[in-house]
Structure 1
Amino acid sequence: MQIEEKKHQILQAATEVFGTYGYKKTSMQDIADALDISRPALYQYYKNKEAVFLALVEHTLNLGEQAAIQGFSHSEDSFECLLHGIKNMEQVLFGPIFLKPNGKELLTLSKKLAPDLMTSFEMQLFNKIVCVLDKAVVEQRINLKTLNVEVSDVAKIILQSVDGIKNASESLEELDQQLNLFLTVFWKGLQKQGN
């Protein structure tokens, strides 16, 4: 079996184990047991639990970025791009979290153990949102002049609101519904400014 394929299997198992037991209560033995391998075999790939967790965060953020990119190029319509970019990303990043008892703890921990990865990801997402908003302004689909705000300010509000919605949601379905509602109302408000 190839090294990368084995690492992928380890990360899949780690998602299950961390989500079920939480980071603190999870041991390398728990991850090894989930894979039906020995603990020494697991140590050939990762030196400790934190290394597994950091690799999991990086892998998940990469998947989230790919999903967001696909969503942001979903359509020619700026609103559809924004909606699908954010929702695709949220589905990939947080879908597994809502299915596990300790999932939300993992999100908080990601910010503590992998701040550089999280900041880089958030910056990339911020830049994608700015591009979508810039396009919408140029195409006169939204008007920010009457609000006297910059595109970057609007992008920050969107990201902060999405983060709040994510933290308040109890299920993936609720997250999806709330994101739909927020982005639709927010976008319509920006359109009204042009009239």
Structure 2
Amino acid sequence: MYEKFLELPEEKQDKIRNAGMEYFGKYGYKKANTQDIADKAGISKGLLFYYFKNKESFYRYLCEFCETIMRKSICYEEFSNIHDFFELFDYGVKVKLELISQYPHIYEFSLMMFLSSQKEDTASSQFVNEMMDTSFEVYFKHMDVSLFKEEIDPKQIYRMMLWMSEGYILEKQRTGSSLSFEEMVEDFNVWKEMFKKISYREEYL
């Protein structure tokens, strides 16, 4: 589906990917302007749509690409040895930090991708929602559920943390503030400790 794009030199591909992540990450799927993306990438809008059928096709490609590189970036030997739910979240942050050097806007794009999927009724949104549903089983299959209180559902805690990320984005949009990965990580660590106290048995705190 993206054969012509994948024939480009890797450096050119990354320039187009980064432009897309920047504008979709800043404005969301609906408000991002493909002409702005093309200008940032140093190509014409017509050429962008030569590589990708339309805006939605390009957006979906970026969603798939981010999911793929996240999985490829995970060291499965290291990952499979982590059994603490919250340490797995920390590992995910570490992976994103390593990817930021090559894809500076991947974090903002990932957050906005989740938010847009809740608002838009498109094939891409359905794809993202399905991806989010399966991500729990993929990334948390090695966790030790015995650490949790009997009445706590780990998947529900996962969803609540995603909802908090959504609220974080909405608050930044409301106040006109830019997204900061470093600031988000600081806030995330506070949330993590709060959820850990709510979720874990006393002897594991």
TM-score by structure 1 length? 0.66
Q: Letter of the aligned partner of 2:139 in structure 1? A: K
Of 169, 177, 181 in structure 1, the residue corresponding to residue 190 of structure 2 is 181
Structure 2 equivalent of residue 107 of structure 1: 114
Partner of 1:3: helix, strand, or coil?
Answer: coil
Structure 2 equivalent of residue 78 of structure 1: 83
Bigger radius of gyration among the two:
1
Residue 24 to residue 168, structure 1, CA distance change in 2 (3 Å) = closer
Q: Provide, for residues 3-45 of structure 1, a one-character-per-residue CA deviation record: whole Å limited to 9, x for no partner.
A: 3734443221112233445544444332222222223322221
TM-superposed CA distance for 1:71, in Å, is 8.6
Structure 1 equivalent of residue 202 of structure 2: 192
Q: Provide, for residues 108-133 of structure 1, a one-character-per-residue CA deviation record: whole Å limited to 9, x for no partner.
A: 22343322343234423344324212
Identity percentage of aligned residues? 22
Structure 2 equivalent of residue 162 of structure 1: 161
Structure 2 equivalent of residue 87 of structure 1: 93
Question: Which runs of 5 or more structure 1 residues have no equivalent in the other structure?
Answer: none
Equivalences for residues 9-24 of structure 1 within 5 A: 9-24=15-30
CA RMSD of aligned residues (A): 3.8
Equivalences for residues 51-70 of structure 1 within 5 A: 51-67=57-73, 69-70=74-75
Counterpart CA distance in 2 for 1:36 and 1:42 is 10
Q: Provide, for residues 96-148 of structure 1, a one-character-per-residue CA deviation record: whole Å limited to 9, x for no partner.
A: 37769xx96553223433223432344233443242124xx3xxxx2x5xx43
- C-alpha contact (below 8 Å) 1:72/1:85 kept by paired residues: no
TM-superposed CA distance for 1:46, in Å, is 0.7
Partner of 2:139: helix, strand, or coil?
Answer: helix
Q: Does 1:36 align with 2:46?
A: no
Q: Provide, for residues 73-114 of structure 1, a one-character-per-residue CA deviation record: whole Å limited to 9, x for no partner.
A: 358453374242343467669x837769xx965532234332
- C-alpha contact (below 8 Å) 2:80/2:142 kept by paired residues: no
Q: Letter of the aligned partner of 2:114 in structure 1? A: L
Counterpart CA distance in 1 for 2:35 and 2:136 is 36
Counterpart CA distance in 1 for 2:96 and 2:158 is 12
The farther-off stretch of 28-37 and 48-57 is 28-37
Counterpart CA distance in 1 for 2:53 and 2:89 is 39
Structure 2 equivalent of residue 50 of structure 1: 56
Q: Letter of the aligned partner of 2:83 in structure 1? A: S
Residue 2 to residue 174, structure 1, CA distance change in 2 (3 Å) = same
Structure 1 equivalent of residue 144 of structure 2: 133
Bigger RCO of structures 1 and 2 (CA < 8 A, at least 6 apart): 2
Residue 90 to residue 133, structure 1, CA distance change in 2 (3 Å) = farther
How many residue pairs are counted as aligned between the two chains? Answer: 179
